[in-house]
């Protein structure tokens, strides 16, 4: 193993927060050391519970995540937070934001938070997030909270790589639940109605309950509970923790957690394979210059891409 990776892993395992930050930056930045670093982290993962939290902008996810993190720290669990904004073009700035947001956790070496805002991350943001979460877990965290901003396909893809998904909604979101993207509702293991002191909480709750009773005929399936919270006051945090624990217990039997993770790994492996293949083909014959030249010929109608691309791929096969 590379000496830098070795040294970093030693410090990371010893609880050195700066080593963890360095390792995450390497992975996020797509350093050449990334594969080795991730390979070294892998044996240290698999024991933490990963909770994904998503919902529309303005639903108060950050406040809720802070409440949850505080609770779990108070009961003695080590906690990592990975916050992702797929639409934001900024990276560096996010880290300053973290310092302000998580001030209450300063000097707590059993807590670590990191924002990722890497639009166009090489090989997919969902995979990059899962990789960063692995590094954070490898540093010895019991619980990883993965928070995303937004309700698009990207966010669904990210949250689907967690063991459990919380979908945070607020009363009076324009129309009603129908207007939410189907994918977001499907992934919810627990629904949270935050800012539930506002008008419309009751209506939203009954819509969510009706929706679930319509959608599924299987009696043995998990019926996602609806928890009302007010992030700003802490109201409902205890109930939310209870719902999380209930689901964790449900997951814990009949191989449910394992089966969820196998499904996730199927997707991650395919994603990794694709990324690796792309890196390879970029290296052996489709570098920036070749790609630019080919694009120019295709745009000019001189080369038919549907003929050229299969040709390129067979060339890779040797």
Residues that bind its own copies (CB under 8 A): 35-36, 38-39, 42-43, 46, 57-58, 86-89, 119, 150, 152-154, 174-175, 179, 181-183, 258, 261-266, 268-270, 272-274, 276-278, 280-281, 286, 291-292, 294-296, 298-301, 304-310, 312-313, 316-318
**Angstrom distance (rounded) from CA 86 to CA 119:** 6
Pure H helices in the chain? 3-13, 17-28, 34-41, 61-74, 92-101, 125-138, 153-159, 182-186, 201-215, 237-251, 256-284, 288-299, 305-316
**Angstrom distance (rounded) from CA 130 to CA 94:** 18
Task: Check if the beta carbon of residue 156 is closer than 8 Å to that of residue 82.
Answer: no
**Angstrom distance (rounded) from CA 112 to CA 102:** 9
Q: How far is the CB of 118 from its own copies (least distance, A)?
A: 12
Q: Which is nearer to its own copies, 130 or 190 (CB)?
A: 130
Q: Which is nearer to its own copies, 246 or 271 (CB)?
A: 271
167, β-bridge pairs? 54, 191
Q: How far is the CB of 243 from its own copies (least distance, A)?
A: 25
Q: Who contacts 22 (Cβ-Cβ below 8 Å, separation ≥6)?
A: 8
| Strand ranges across the sheet with 226-228 | 111-116, 79-84, 143-148, 49-54, 164-169, 190-193, 226-228
Q: Who contacts 226 (Cβ-Cβ below 8 Å, separation ≥6)?
A: 191, 192, 193, 205, 208, 209
Q: Which is nearer to its own copies, 21 or 152 (CB)?
A: 152
**Angstrom distance (rounded) from CA 163 to CA 126:** 14
Q: How far is CA 104 from CA 69, 81, 234, in A?
A: 11, 14, 15
Q: How far is the CB of 244 from its own copies (least distance, A)?
A: 22
Q: How far is the CB of 153 from its own copies (least distance, A)?
A: 5
Q: How far is the CB of 272 from its own copies (least distance, A)?
A: 5
Q: Which is nearer to its own copies, 177 or 312 (CB)?
A: 312
Q: Which is nearer to its own copies, 242 or 284 (CB)?
A: 284
Q: How far is the CB of 28 from its own copies (least distance, A)?
A: 16
Q: Which is nearer to its own copies, 223 or 296 (CB)?
A: 296
Q: How far is the CB of 75 from its own copies (least distance, A)?
A: 27
Q: Which is nearer to its own copies, 104 or 172 (CB)?
A: 172
């Amino acid at each position: 193993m590379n000496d830098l990776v070795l040294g970093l892993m030693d410090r990371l395992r010893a609880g050195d927060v700066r080593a963890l930050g360095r390792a995450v930056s390497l992975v996020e930045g797509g350093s050449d050391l990334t594969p080795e670093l991730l390979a070294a982290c892998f044996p240290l993962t698999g024991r933490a519970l990963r909770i994904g939290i998503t919902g529309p902008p303005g639903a108060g996810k950050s406040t809720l995540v802070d409440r949850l993190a505080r609770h779990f720290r108070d009961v003695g669990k080590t906690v990592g937070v990975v916050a992702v904004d797929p639409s934001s073009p900024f990276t560096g700035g996010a880290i300053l934001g973290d310092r302000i947001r998580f001030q209450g956790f300063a000097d707590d070496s059993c807590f670590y938070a990191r924002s990722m805002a890497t639009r166009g991350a090489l090989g997919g943001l969902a995979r990059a997030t899962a990789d960063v979460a692995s590094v954070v877990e490898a540093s010895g965290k019991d619980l990883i909270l993965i928070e995303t901003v937004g309700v698009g396909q990207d966010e669904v893809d990210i949250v689907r790589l967690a063991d459990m998904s919380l979908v945070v909604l607020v009363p009076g979101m324009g129309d009603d639940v129908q207007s939410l993207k189907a994918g977001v509702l499907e992934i919810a293991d627990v629904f949270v109605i935050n800012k539930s002191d506002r008008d419309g909480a009751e209506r939203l709750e009954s819509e969510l309950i009706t929706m679930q009773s319509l959608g599924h005929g299987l009696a043995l399936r998990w019926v996602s509970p609806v928890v009302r919270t007010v992030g700003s006051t802490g109201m409902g945090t205890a109930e939310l923790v209870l719902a999380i624990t209930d689901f964790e217990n449900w997951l814990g039997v009949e191989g449910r957690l394992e089966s969820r993770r196998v499904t996730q790994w199927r997707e991650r492996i395919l994603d990794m394979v694709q990324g690796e293949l792309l890196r390879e083909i970029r290296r052996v014959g489709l570098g920036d210059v070749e790609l630019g030249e080919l694009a120019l010929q295709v745009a000019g109608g001189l080369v038919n891409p549907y003929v050229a691309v299969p040709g390129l791929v067979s060339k890779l096969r040797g």
